[in-house]
Amino acid sequence: MAHIINTPLSKAQVKELKAGDQVSINGYIYAARDAAHKRMIELISAGRELPFDIKDQIIYYVGPCPAKEGQAIGSAGPTTSSRMDSYAPKLIELGLTGMIGKGLRSKEVIDAMVRFGSVYFGAIGGAGALIAESIKEEELIAFPELGPEAIRKLKVKDFSATVIIDSFGNDLYKIGREKFRL
Amino acid sequence: MKCIDVGQIIQTTEELCINANYFLNDDILKSLKDGLSREECQTGRVVLESLVRNAEIAARDEMAICQDTGMAVVFVELGQDVHITGGSLIEAINEGVRRGYKKGCLRNSVVGDPIFRTNTGDNTPAVIHFNIIEGDCLQIEVAPKGFGSENMSSLKMLKPSDGIDGVKSFILDTVDKAGPNPCPPIVVGVGIGGTMEKAAFLAKKALLRPVGENSSVDYVRKLEEEMLESINKLGIGPAGLGGRITALAVNIEVFPTHIAGLPVAVNISCHATRHAKAVL
């Protein structure tokens, strides 16, 4: 059975999630990738406010395709998370409790997740059309000049993901690979 | 001599960009389904089923298989008896890419300068490879390349003494390090020989060969089979969550090289490995 998450994602619920768990996410999450992360860190360094309150929120590493007429959003699968590794620890420190992406994370990110209480979810890379079915609304909220890299607020329903790295530092990529390595 | 107008080239390129991004090729679809019966990991099977379902949705709704609709890599085989009329061939291909990405609601993923990084807003320029061949045909093959997998690719100038064992370890090491990042199950394109850029080109070109079709060179075919088996023992599995089906195919191309060198390039491609072609 999948854990049901209704955003915002509290630190208490983060602690209940273990690597390998399936989750179904509902509510609002925020789309941001490379260029948006760079901008957010610049804002923080300048002592300015972020475009959204990051506390107890989930960021989805995605740059979606434009929506066709009648669609809420175009194809919208995860991008490689490691490119956000240099920015993520600061956001986790500020209260970000969830990240959705695909691929490996750095030690610095995992350390911050354990220290402050945050979880890393994996969505299926390459399944952008399937994932788009669980995104019901898309609203561009910051940096429109970044095009596909602008920050978007997404309303999701039954968004499926897997806990890859939990707040205790367990990593499904390592566990899974060890189990099947010959 | 045959005359081909740029208008026809623009339209064809536009259609190819859209088709490559909407419709997963049959060889890949078949390979994913075959993988389902061989995958021992339950989560891995769920991922493979999801990828098949994803392809069905993309085809049904005519939308991109993946949001990373790639940088458009275009392979052009130009017959030497063809005369292009009405404008520039390069411009025509770029215009086709521009129109295709706009019309198909495909993502603009190209920045104009690698350092200053402003989005060009129309997914141009394309990376175009020309090959002049005999005859009076023009073949255009569009292979949109996503960078989740492109970033995991690697090239190494081995020593001749490293031999085939050196090649094997380099391929395996590249895939192992890539782990879950390139959206496995992957297709691995390998170029061996030539010069540095020739090896890289061959690795890319190898990705155009259908999954399940091995090299006609005997030792290369054996190497492809052996590497596929070794890669699928790494345990990475679909989406990197553990399992057997890490790669769908290893396609290797070879070319003569210098007495002092053994260049090897490994170009990793995601499960979609998109490409569509047309002949004018």
- Could you say which residues from 8 to 47 on chain B have a Cβ atom under 8 Å away from some Cβ of chain A? 40-41, 43, 47
Q: Does A64 lie at the interface with B, CB-CB under 8 angstroms?
A: yes
Average pLDDT in the B181-190 region?
98
Which of chain B's residues have a Cβ under 8 Å away from the Cβ of A125?
A: 148, 180, 182-183, 239, 270
What CA–CA distance (Å, rounded) separates A24 from B264? 43
What CA–CA distance (Å, rounded) separates B229 from B234? 9
Centre a 10 Å sphere on the Cβ of residue B134 and count the other Cβ atoms it contains: 8
Distance from CA of B273 to the nearest CA of A (A): 10
Q: Do A65 and B270 touch (CB under 8 A)?
A: no
Q: Does A69 lie at the interface with B, CB-CB under 8 angstroms?
A: no
Q: How confident is the model at residue A176 (pLDDT cuts 50, 70, 90)?
A: very high
Give the model's pLDDT for residue A6.
98
What CA–CA distance (Å, rounded) separates B51 from A130? 8
Give the model's pLDDT for residue A155.
98
B67-123 residue pLDDT tens:
999 999 999 999 999 999 999 999 999 999 999 999 999 999 999 999 999 999 999
For chain A, percent of residues with pLDDT exceeding 70 = 100
Q: Do B43 and A162 touch (CB under 8 A)?
A: yes
A118-132 residue pLDDT tens:
999 999 999 999 999
What CA–CA distance (Å, rounded) separates A80 from A166? 18
Cα radius of gyration (chain A):
15
Which of chain B's residues have a Cβ under 8 Å away from the Cβ of A103?
A: 148, 179-181, 240
Average pLDDT in the A161-181 region?
96
Which of chain B's residues have a Cβ under 8 Å away from the Cβ of A146?
A: 119
Are the C-beta atoms of B204 and B269 separated by less than 8 Å? no
- Locus of tokens 């007429």: A69
- Burial tier of A167 (Cβ tally within 10 Å: 0-12, 13-18, 19+): buried
Taking alpha carbons only, the member of B25, B24, B51 closest to residue B36 is: B51
Average pLDDT in the A1-10 region?
95
For B52-109, give the DSSP string.
HHHHHHHHHHT--SSS---EEEEEEEEETTEEEESS-HHHHHHHHHHHHHHHTT----
- Locus of tokens 């049901």: A4
Domains (range + CATH), chain A? 2-179 (3.20.130.10)
Q: Does A72 lie at the interface with B, CB-CB under 8 angstroms?
A: no
Average pLDDT in the B215-219 region?
97
Residue A44 CA neighbour count, 13 Å, CB half: 17
Q: Do A75 and B63 touch (CB under 8 A)?
A: yes
Q: Do A180 and B148 touch (CB under 8 A)?
A: no
Dihedral angle sign, alpha carbons of residues B13, B19, B22, B27 = negative
- What kind and span of H or E run contains A35? helix A34-45
> Which positions of A are catalytic?
37
Give the model's pLDDT for residue A1.
78
Q: Does A51 lie at the interface with B, CB-CB under 8 angstroms?
A: no
Q: Does A178 lie at the interface with B, CB-CB under 8 angstroms?
A: yes
Cβ-based contacts under 8 A for chains A and B: 163
Q: Which two tokens stand for residue A144?
A: 């429109």
Q: How confident is the model at residue B124 (pLDDT cuts 50, 70, 90)?
A: very high
Which of chain B's residues have a Cβ under 8 Å away from the Cβ of A138?
A: none
Average pLDDT in the A9-25 region?
97
Q: How confident is the model at residue B255 (pLDDT cuts 50, 70, 90)?
A: very high
Q: Is the pTM of this model over 0.80?
A: yes
Q: Which two tokens stand for residue B172?
A: 């395996």
Give the nearest partner residue to B108 out of A125, A148, A182, using CB atoms. Answer: A148
Average pLDDT in the B176-196 region?
98
- Locus of tokens 């098949």: B52
Residue B84 CA neighbour count, 13 Å, CB half: 18
Give the nearest partner residue to A104 out of B61, B107, B180, using CB atoms. Answer: B180
Q: What are the phi and psi torsion angles at A61 (to 5°)?
A: -75, 95
Q: Does B167 lie at the interface with A, CB-CB under 8 angstroms?
A: no
